[in-house]
Chain A
Amino acid sequence: EDQVTQSPEALRLQEGESSSLNCSYTVSGLRGLFWYRQDPGKGPEFLFTLYSAGEEKEKERLKATLTKKESFLHITAPKPEDSATYLCALTNYGGSQGNLIFGKGTKLSVKP
């Protein structure tokens, strides 16, 4: 069964303290791995798509990387406005017709 596991469940950082969020996955055939940001009471906001091991994407203070077993979301010098829940999801080449399989998310809090 395809599965996504995110760690840690929660992460508290001081402003400027860089860190990484982990997304480990098992999948029959990875079609794409996605990162989303979700603020309380809102829908997920798309951040990145990664398709193959070794691929990297960057946006402002965020950088996503992908290996054959896991993905990392690196946050460099975070600011309080980066506080949110970060969700990892994947799609596969198997039976599911492109629906996203999500992890439970990492809740990030950045204190000034």
Chain B
Amino acid sequence: DTGVSQNPRHKITKRGQNVTFRCDPISEHNRLYWYRQTLGQGPEFLTYFQNEAQLEKSRLLSDRFSAERPKGSFSTLEIQRTEQGDSAMYLCASSWDRGYEQYFGPGTRLTVT
């Protein structure tokens, strides 16, 4: 297994545009998490999936954010009407189950101009 992958690695967009990121987790992992990280901070939890079910969302996840995990495989995170405050590194992680270590992908760096 090659680990968690994310695409694109970098995305530059203009304010007001929509963007979509993709995450492919480690194949045997049931849980998939999305985090956001800004400079000088640790990652902050956004949402997570158990197989295809989205079971928890953080208060950080405004209505402009939506995530899906069809068929319990890859996941997408969409941000609508991007704002400059959305500029951050978006990280995806997967784990076998609750309480087990999470393995992170390389992240998608979003810059909103």
Question: What residues make up the interface of A, taking CB atoms closer than 8 Å to B?
Answer: 4, 31-32, 34, 36, 41-46, 49, 87, 89, 91, 96-105
Contact = CB atoms under 8 A, between A and B. Distances in A.
Query: Would you list the 7 A-B pairs with minimal beta carbon distance, nearest first?
Result: A102-B42, A98-B98, A43-B104, A99-B45, A44-B104, A43-B107, A31-B99
B95 interface: yes
10 contacts: A31-B99, A32-B101, A34-B102, A41-B107, A91-B98, A96-B56, A98-B95, A98-B98, A99-B45, A100-B33
Contacts, number: 69
Contact of B98 (A41, A44, A46, A97): A97
A3 B100 CA distance: 19
A14 B39 CA distance: 26
B74 interface: no
Interface in B14-58: 31, 33, 35, 40-45, 48, 50, 55-56, 58
B106 interface: yes
Nearest to B98: A98
Nearest to A100: B102
Given A98-B31, A104-B41, A42 B102 contact: no
Contact of B45 (A32, A49, A87, A101): A101
Interface residues of B, number: 31
A89 B107 contact: no
Given A91-B98, A97-B55, A101-B45, A45 B40 contact: no
A104 B42 contact: yes
B40 A104 contact: yes
B33 A99 contact: yes
A43 B105 contact: yes
Contact of A42 (B31, B50, B95, B106): B106
A27 B95 CA distance: 21
B91 A44 contact: yes
